[in-house]
Chains A and B, each alone.
Chain A
Amino acid sequence: MRLLREFLEGVGSRLAPDEEGLVRINNKRFIEAEALTGLLPTRRDLVYAGRFLGRDKRVFIPSSILLEELAREPSTRKAHVDRRTAWLFVCDRDVFEENLGVEGRPGLGELYLVVSEGDCLGYGRIEEFEGRLILRNLFDLGDFLRRERRPSRRRGKPGARKRGEAT
């Protein structure tokens, strides 16, 4: 719950999920639809339950469902990128400051949703790399393809990419 809350606050969301309304399955977090609540007597074999919010890793890995909601929220912090940068971002790359369409100068440690043509593709954190600001890719939708190809069940970030690979 702490990682989820930190993530939501970090991107400037006003969403505040009620802890009691959250369903936890291993490291995954869900909000269960009313029609699903208590449908079957057992939760023992449950692997998915309604609105998937994301999973706790070292950072919170939001679901694409949550990202889509956050992209619609006016208060969230968004970095608009062109299609070429967007494509490289979903290929697990970081983004150099000059390719980030943000208002004002981004601050170190700030989280941004990465948006291209109105579609939210993931999010990242502003970091410094060799004297330049970059948006460190923390999650992108290309993960759908990468997780299917992974031999193990290991998912999410980080470590899949060399530091400093950016666009």
Chain B
Amino acid sequence: MPGKRFFLERYRRMGHDLSGNERTRSALRVNTLKTDAEALVERLSRLGATLERVGYLRDGYTIGGSGFSLGASFEYLLGLYTLQEAASQFAVEVLGPGREETILDMCAAPGVKTTQISAHMGNTGAIVAVDVSRARLYALENNLERMGVVNCAAYHADANELDYGGLLFDRILLDAPCSGNYVADRAWFSKRRPRDFERNAERQRRLLGKAVGLLRPGGVLVYTTCSLEPEEDELNVQWLLENHNVSLDRVEGPGSPGLTEALGERLDDEVARCMRFWPDETGTQGFFVARVRV
């Protein structure tokens, strides 16, 4: 196994001196389908929670402390909020779902982002949520129910194989299965090898290719991973630019531009329009976001 030193050196060559001990702050998202931020913050503050608004998120707050379990409070059970890391919330902000649109969430389980999409749509329009894992879909069903989502149809299927019947979507979120990052998993360094990233990249490219074909003209695909590895991020976007008639929108936010040079490869300058969340810069987990337009 390559181990921690190998990866930290790899990130250093990408321009980031990381300690490998970075951690993310817990965060929650107000469920605007059921309440508003003012009411929820007031209610949770009364119970002892300290919340701080995240400037680049519509409904996101970091949790300073609470003195009680925010994952088991009345307010949580009532679906007034959900626990969702800030970088993860950013993905849906970049997608920008609108009312009455038709949206595909390709690897949707456990459904936290699906519920965020629904909140942005005000429970109007239609979300098709797909996931290949039945076990994780149970969590998605629970999340949809708890958060009061009524505009979603969820399918247990491989998003590449599902029969879409010629339906084209306004927007697609592809939050692809990936190798993750060390911020959320202390054992990460001892579990991962570069060949895992290449294997993941093959699967991610199949999903990307499928997604592009499911967008209406002018539609938007947001591709995200919680991986810091270029094989799963910029190199996939480069592949997309080379093999499909797409362009990239610039992602505005708190992170760094996508790499235009990675693992010895020079990439299209356009790839810098993507965004990387380096844990030391953003105080979040590692994250990558690309906004693709057909």
Contact = CB atoms under 8 A, between A and B. Distances in A.
Nearest to B34: A68
Given A40-B128, A64-B148, A50 B153 contact: yes
A116 B151 CA distance: 28
A35 B144 contact: no
Interface string A136-161: 00000110110110000100000000
Given A35-B124, A40-B153, A119 B142 contact: no
Nearest to A91: B72
A86 B74 contact: yes
B77 interface: yes
Interface size class of B (residues with CB under 8 A): 35 or more
Contact of A36 (B126, B142, B145, B165): B126
A37 B96 CA distance: 24
Q: Which of A48, A90, A153 counts the most B-chain CB atoms under 10 A from its CB?
A: A48
B67 to A, nearest CB: 15
A45 B77 contact: no
Contact of A35 (B126, B129, B163): B126
Interface stretch (B133-141, B216-224, B265-273): B133-141
Interface stretch (B51-59, B85-93, B154-162): B154-162
Contact of B163 (A33, A41, A52): A41
Interface size class of A (residues with CB under 8 A): 20 to 34
Interface in B161-198: 162-165, 167
Interface of A is mostly: mixed
Contacts of B128: 39-40
Interface string A23-41: 0000000001101100111
A39 B74 contact: no
Contacts of B134: 47
Nearest to B130: A45
Q: Which 5 A-B pairs have the closest CB atoms?
A: A41-B165, A48-B154, A141-B77, A35-B126, A51-B150
Interface of A: 32-33, 35-36, 39-42, 45-52, 63-65, 68, 86-87, 90, 116, 119, 121, 141-142, 144-145, 147-148, 153
19 contacts: A33-B126, A39-B102, A39-B153, A40-B128, A40-B153, A41-B163, A45-B162, A46-B153, A47-B154, A48-B129, A48-B140, A49-B154, A50-B152, A51-B150, A65-B145, A87-B74, A144-B77, A144-B146, A147-B138
